[in-house]
Amino acid sequence: MASGTENYRDLWPWQTAFLRVTTVLTLVGPVLAGCALYPFLGSTAFWAFPVAGFGLLVWIVYGGVGNRVTRIRHSVESLDGEIADALIVDGFLQSPGIVVLKPSEVVLLPILGQSTTIALNTISAIRECHWFNGSYYPWKTGFWITVQGKERLGFAMGNTIADRWRGRLVLAESDWQD
């Protein structure tokens, strides 16, 4: 499984373990079903093949995204901090990427757009949610961060990872308010 992930609910569609399961279900499964049902249904059984085409498209798109996220992950592994895959929103741009929680700052590294570094002592408010940027993620936790000079800044990550990060982020918010 991906580094820092405890279960499959924490995986994003671009991560390798999730992509393997999706590929088997949407690519290999329909091809096998079409071939197995051919003796009974004739050429009608091959209607399962367009589903396999969808699986191939999912594999190509999310595989490419996964490669970019993996490259970013390898480039920041030397940093002192906890690294997590996340969905990052900066302004109106939403992008998969990597979030690094260091002792004194949070670094957002999306695959599209510029990286953002936020000192923990500049965070004035944090809002936690499961509805993140218009989508509901039941097994993910989103954090909207209020920082002076940024209007929309947030990231979403798996619940088990967010549980570890929540305390440090809330502590940073309370330090700012003191």
pLDDT in tens, 104-120: 999 999 999 999 999 98
Rounded CA-CA distance 42/66 in Å is 38
- The CATH number of the domain holding residue 141 is 2.30.29.30
Share of the chain above pLDDT 90, in %: 41
Rounded CA-CA distance 67/61 in Å is 10
Other C-beta atoms closer than 10 Å to the C-beta of 25 total 13
The strand pair at 82-90 and 93-101 is best described as: antiparallel
| Domain count along the chain | 2
Specify if 35 maps to a domain: yes
- Coil vs helix vs strand at 41: helix
Span 140-153, average pLDDT: 87
Specify if 109 maps to a domain: yes
Same domain membership, residue 105 and residue 83 = yes
**pTM greater than 0.85:** no
Same domain membership, residue 52 and residue 89 = no
Same domain membership, residue 96 and residue 14 = no
Residue 16, Cα to own-chain centre: how many angstroms? 12
pLDDT one-digit tens code per residue, 45-79: 888 888 888 888 888 999 999 999 999 999 998 88
pLDDT of residue 1: 46
Rounded CA-CA distance 22/4 in Å is 21
Same domain membership, residue 94 and residue 120 = yes
Same domain membership, residue 159 and residue 97 = yes
| 108 within 8 A of 88, measured Cβ to Cβ | yes
Structural domain span for residue 117? 79-177
Span 14-43, average pLDDT: 88
Other C-beta atoms closer than 10 Å to the C-beta of 163 total 12
Rounded CA-CA distance 51/100 in Å is 37
Which of 74, 92, 108 is where one domain is finished? 74
Same domain membership, residue 93 and residue 49 = no
Same domain membership, residue 150 and residue 93 = yes
Same domain membership, residue 160 and residue 84 = yes
Same domain membership, residue 167 and residue 84 = yes
Q: Does residue 141 register a pLDDT over 90?
A: yes
